[in-house]
Amino acid sequence: MVSTLMIPQWRRAHLALLSGALMTGCSPACHVTEFDTWSAADHIVIRLGHQRPDRTITDRQRIARIAAFAQAHADGWRSPWYGTPVGDITLDVYRGPRFMGHLAIGSNFLESQGCEDFMSRTVSPTDRRAILSLVGVPEDNFK
């Protein structure tokens, strides 16, 4: 075991800062409550990458299934220390002109705004395929 007396003071300060950054660099997991209101949405605008809107979903059953998917994935959201990743496909959810929130789909993660920040969480390949199918975007477009 190394005594702290043998470590120079500047090195102890550096280690303390690094430890603090690692402990606070990734926020605790949260539950995104915004998804609970999405079943009242009347349209979802789909954007591929940073392009203009690609299409709009207005079918109530598809919207309900997308809202259910989001609600089933409402736990485990975090704000990574390196920054929140940006997804390839974005779903902007609306009720009339009122923006209700968004869900972005990445290679192995989801991104959204909730818990007072932009957050992300991992998503399994099976769940990624499921949401892409609901949205109507072939997975081979975004590998």
- CB–CB of 97/31 below 8 Å? no
User: Would residue 31 count as lying in a domain?
Assistant: yes
How many domains, the chain? 1
**pLDDT value, residue 138:** 85
CATH number at residue 43: 2.60.40
User: Would residue 21 count as lying in a domain?
Assistant: no
Instruction: Please tell me whether the overall predicted TM-score, pTM, comes out greater than 0.85 for this model.
Output: no
Q: What length is written for the chain?
A: 143
Helix/strand/coil (H, E, C) string of 51-95?
A: CCEEEEECCHHHHHHHHHHHHHCCCCEECCCCCCCCCCEEEEEEE
**Whether residue 92 has pLDDT greater than 90:** yes
- Split at pLDDT 50, 70, 90, the class of 21 is very low
Neighbours of 132 (CB within 10 A): 17
- Residue 131 is part of which domain span? 26-141
Cα 23 → chain centroid: 21
